[in-house]
Amino acid sequence: MSSDREKIFSAIRAALDPLPTRTEKPEWEESLVVCKPSGQFDSLKAQFADKLAFASGRFYDSVEPLAEFLKAEQSTFGYCDPALAHLLDGVEGITFDTEYDESKINEYSFGITKGSAGIAESGTIMLKDGDTSARLGALAPWIHIAVIDEADIVPHIPAAIERFGDDPSIIFATGPSKTADVEGILIEGVHGPGIQVALVLS
């Protein structure tokens, strides 16, 4: 790694350190930020799956179909949070690193990290730096898989905000990365993963 590159990453890491004091959260009217569900759902998990699909995300609740999807996408080498590596034990044809190697940033076709929460009303995945083993593992590969405990699916955004804690950096990902700042044309996969996956396990 070049010294200039290391300087840049060092500056970013320093900027992401926890603040000595945190600004109080502003007061807000919860009714203004809650979307009303567009249908009837048996569970928060079902609602989350429906909304995630609406946002062009993919939902799985078991490893086997996810592995088949990765193979179909020819995405067979990536990064995996070491605490989640057991999920891929015995899966043939897929290999991964459990320590993020920045020199392989162009080789990792998928990244598997822990998702801190799922927001049912919008299909949003919440990623807290404190729960993420490697931020680049979540943001750089074309396919990002957030592994979420079903118990961590919350009904709406205010419930997710209550889980912020003291984490210095939190990302809300609603489907793949996207932008529409060029002539209003929506393009997915520009500034981050082009395919966003949630693997929700009980």
| pLDDT tier for residue 192 given thresholds of 50, 70 and 90 | confident
Pairing mode, strands 77-80 and 95-97: parallel
Is the Cβ–Cβ distance between 123 and 131 less than 8 Å? no
Instruction: List pLDDT tens digits, range 136-151.
Output: 999 999 999 999 999 9
% of the chain residues with pLDDT over 70: 97
Q: Which amino acid is at 14?
A: A
List, for residues 7-27, the tens digit of each pLDDT value: 898 888 888 777 777 777 778
> What is the average pLDDT across 185-189?
80
pLDDT of residue 165: 87
- What is the per-residue pLDDT for 37? 63
CB neighbourhood size of 198 (10 A): 26
How far from chain centre, in Å, is Cα 156?
17
Which pLDDT band holds residue 116 (cuts at 50, 70, 90)?
very high
22-43 per-position pLDDT tens digit? 777 778 777 777 666 678 899 9
Residue 55 scores a pLDDT above 70? yes
> In this predicted model, which residue has the larger pLDDT, 163 or 27?
163
**Per-residue tokens: 81:** 């949070």
The pTM of the full predicted model, rounded to 2 decimals, is: 0.84
- Average confidence (pLDDT) over 62-84: 97
Task: Compute the residue count for the chain.
Answer: 202
User: Does 68 have pLDDT greater than 80?
Assistant: yes
Predicted confidence at residue 1, as pLDDT, reads: 55
Q: Which residue has the higher pLDDT, 39 or 74?
A: 74
Residue 85: pLDDT band with limits 50, 70, 90: very high
The DSSP code for 24 is P
Of the pLDDT bands very low, low, confident and very high (cuts 50, 70, 90), residue 47 is: very high
Rounded Cα gap, residues 156 and 122, in angstroms: 8
